[in-house]
A and B are shown apart, each in its own frame.
Chain A
Amino acid sequence: MKSVWKFAIAGFFVCGFHAAGIAQVEPKGPSEIGLIESTQAQDRENIKGIGELLGHFGKFVDAASSGSAMYSAMSALDNNECVPDLAASASGLMPSGCDGNAGCNQCFESAVNRMNTVRKNLARMSCLRMNTKRYVDSAVAFGDDVSGIHGAMGLAWQKERRGINASYEKFKKTYDGKYVEMMESLDTSLKGIDVCEAQFGMKDWYQKSGFIYYELMKEKYQRTD
């Protein structure tokens, strides 16, 4: 619980808004936030709601052994939402001659880090594409459904529909551009690994293994729609 109050010492922001009379929010300034760390019961009472909320949040944070454990324990909000698949299939594994000694590891580190960053970005991009397509399909279906009810609404929807489709086409082009960038970066990282393999492990590693992995990734993340 103690850490909960310390969160407040670090300082957080309270957002305020007033939405057309349906809600009213009283923004909290630094002095009120300071009350959260106060030991005065009366002061705490004044910020009762936020204090309790922070208490629950503090328990949630304390329960996780690490940020990555916290993240791993969570499931996607939407069961149909694409979550990046970072698993490495057995058939996609590349042989490496690096025996784990310090010189070898040091040589590999930079290239492997770069490759892993590309893997994460490609997986996220791919999900972004699938989720965006799902959203576009859902939005278009919703609009088509609603616009049939009223003629005038139908005309307005046709314009909006064209806008959504045009934006999606633009998104696809952007995806293709980013895909090329990522594949180039992956190639660079694999060639970096090849240099290390030549020094510490296998000769002609890129031709024998790296290139095959590159081709697998190229096919996996290429847009097909």
Chain B
Amino acid sequence: MKKIALIASALGLLLHSAALWAQPFTLDKKFKVTKLVLHKFSPPDEPKASGRISIAEVTQKDDTIYYFVKGVSIYSPVYVGVQFTGAKNESVNVSLHKLSWKKAERSGTTDARGHWEEKFKTENDFGLRVTAKSKPVTYSLMVWVGDSPKIELPSVFKKSDVKRK
């Protein structure tokens, strides 16, 4: 119970920061940003995949679409995948953003199989931008945020030579 109270206490700070940090990607009003909602995901036969997930099938009619995800813990693994389902000689460009749309932290293009993915860790929120050369394009988009794994902390103890008296 004490552990739960401690975690809840830390989350209280996160909620406070979330109010401030509600969605940095909407600071520039010219961008129309879509929130990707994460839903609980717990396959019984694969505990490693437990967490939250968002999957969407998209038909993109404009050059660029902006998405964002929020409520991520720095102690959680994150996987983002895009599967392009259009013609084989076409592709979409994908970039991941942290503080602004101007600077991409990671970027790439769907490969010959139409796939692109990235894995990372981050705190609170991140943005995802998909750019298509030809329109409309169709693709599937997936964001998975894993449960925080049990992280073994290095011990803060060293063996003492002093015997108990």
A residues adjacent to B (C-beta < 8 A): 3, 6-7, 9-10, 12-17, 19-26, 28, 48-50, 52-54, 56-57, 60-61, 64, 66-68, 70-71, 73-79, 81-84, 86-88, 92-98, 113-121, 124-125, 127-128, 131-132, 134-136, 138-139, 142-143, 146, 164, 167-168, 170-171, 174-175, 178, 181-182, 185, 200-203, 213
Contact = CB atoms under 8 A, between A and B. Distances in A.
Nearest to B9: A181
A134 to B, nearest CB: 7
Question: DSSP majority for the A interface?
Answer: helix
Interface of B: 2-3, 6-7, 9-10, 12-14, 16-17, 19-21, 24, 27-28, 32, 34, 36-37, 39-49, 53-62, 65, 73-79, 81-83, 85, 96, 98-100, 105-106, 113-115, 117, 119-124, 126, 138-140, 142, 144, 146-160, 162-165
Given A95-B158, A120-B151, A201-B164, A57 B106 contact: no
Contacts of A181: 9
A201 B65 CA distance: 62
B144 A75 contact: no
B132 to A, nearest CB: 10
Contacts of A115: 156
Nearest to B162: A202
A147 B163 CA distance: 68
A97 B149 contact: no
8 contacts: A56-B115, A74-B121, A77-B120, A78-B99, A93-B157, A128-B14, A146-B28, A170-B20
Contacts of B44: 10
Q: Rank and list the top 5 A-B pairs by shortest CB-CB distance, nearest first.
A: A67-B149, A95-B160, A49-B140, A13-B39, A10-B43
A178 B13 contact: yes
A172 to B, nearest CB: 10
A25 B122 contact: no
Contact of A95 (B60, B79, B122, B159): B159
A14 B24 CA distance: 25
A108 to B, nearest CB: 9
B3 A15 contact: no
B10 to A, nearest CB: 4
B81 A19 contact: no
A71 B151 contact: yes
Contact of B98 (A78, A94, A95, A175): A78
Given A66-B149, A96-B158, A185-B6, A25 B48 contact: no
B10 A124 contact: yes
Contacts of A17: 34, 56
B74 A61 contact: no
A183 B162 CA distance: 28
A123 to B, nearest CB: 9
Contacts of B147: 67
Contact of A120 (B45, B82, B138, B153): B153
B156 A167 contact: no
Given A61-B49, A68-B150, A79-B105, A23 B65 contact: yes
A116 B41 CA distance: 27
Given A53-B83, A77-B105, A113-B3, A139 B24 contact: yes
